[in-house]
Amino acid sequence: MLKLLTGLYYPQARGQIMLDNQTITYENYQSYRELFSAINKTVIAVSHDDRYFDAADRVITMEEGHMKEIRK
């Protein structure tokens, strides 16, 4: 949670917030979706949890270290 708040506060975040499995749970992410939209920042979520995919504008999947698929 501290990483998330730091990303929202510091200007050097420059419009992006990076989330991974350890930063925020899916349940918390659901709560913060409106906030992310309101502050007009790009959210990059790296996860093995495909429940995030429905909320994404774009999904990039990787296989063996290479980009495999990009969906909108």
Domains and CATH numbers, the chain: 2-71 (3.40.50.300)
φ and ψ at 32, to 5 degrees? -95, -5
- Indicate whether 35 pLDDT > 50: yes
Mean pLDDT of the chain: 72
Mean pLDDT confidence for 20-32: 71
In which residue are the tokens 């749970």 written?
25
Per-residue pLDDT reduced to its tens digit, 40-71 = 777 777 778 787 777 778 888 888 888 887 87
1 vs 47 pLDDT, higher one: 47
Q: What is the CA radius of gyration of the chain?
A: 13
Cα–Cα distance between 5 and 25 in angstroms, integer?
A: 14
Mean pLDDT confidence for 24-50: 75
- Indicate whether 11 pLDDT > 70: no
Q: Are 43 and 19 in contact (CB under 8 A)?
A: yes
